[in-house]
Amino acid sequence: MCNVLIDTIENAKNKTVSVDFDEIIDGIDCVTPVQAHLQLQSLGEFIEVKGNVKTIVKLQCDRCLENFDYKLDFDIDEMFAKNALLEDYGQEYELKDGQFVTDLNGAESIDIYDLLYQSVIINLPNQKVCGINCKGKDFPTEENISDPRLDVFKNIQIQPKNK
């Protein structure tokens, strides 16, 4: 696990710490280790984490159900509030589109492992397709399913109820 202490960031030159991460993350089917180069910078009441993440994960195609490798390469831009978020914060800070604020609620460190786990999961595609030419798999349809136990229902006739 990789934790960065808030005090380490506060006491660093320019209140900025660089972190390099190169590990397999449990719970994600990684083909290659998750590689990240991150900059953590203190901005008063907030800590900003910026950087780039790269890995290759194994996914299952939603169409043909075959496994395939999927390359991820994305940027991180996250904000962490050092103390509990209150409505009457003394200093305002503008959040950019797509930025989130995680409340550290007085925690002494930032869990980089957890941040990268969540970031990889969020950046997986909604529809996992092995390629643009994937035709999918021939799944059984109603016409070609034959279950003798259901034959009894083929000849049922339902009479409408008279009012």
Predicted confidence (pLDDT) per residue in 54-76, tens digit: 999 999 999 999 999 999 999 99
125 part of a folded domain: yes
Amino acid at 139: F
Q: How many CB atoms lie within 10 A of CB 36?
A: 23
Q: What is the pLDDT of residue 20?
A: 95
Q: Kindly report the pTM of this predicted structure.
A: 0.73
At residue 92, does pLDDT exceed 60? no
Q: What is the pLDDT of residue 88?
A: 44
At residue 97, does pLDDT exceed 60? no
Q: What is the DSSP letter of 31?
A: S
Q: What is the pLDDT of residue 158?
A: 80
Q: How does 77-94 read in b/e, with b if 16+ C-beta sit within 10 Å? A: ebbbbbeeeeeeeeeeee
131 part of a folded domain: yes
Contact yes or no for 137/130 (Cβ under 8 A): no
Q: Give the count of domains, the chain.
A: 1
112 part of a folded domain: yes
Encoded tokens for 12? 């660093």
Domain span at residue 105 reads 3-137
Residue ranges with strand state E in the chain: 3-5, 16-23, 34-43, 46-60, 67-81, 101-103, 109-111
148 part of a folded domain: no
Predicted confidence (pLDDT) per residue in 128-158, tens digit: 999 888 888 776 665 666 677 877 877 788 8
Q: What is the pLDDT of residue 90?
A: 47
155 part of a folded domain: no
151 part of a folded domain: no
Please say whether the dihedral angle defined by the alpha carbons of residues 109, 113, 119 and 121, taken in this order, is positive or negative: negative
67 part of a folded domain: yes
Q: Give percent of the chain above pLDDT 70.
A: 83
Q: Which residue has the tokens 């109820």?
A: 161
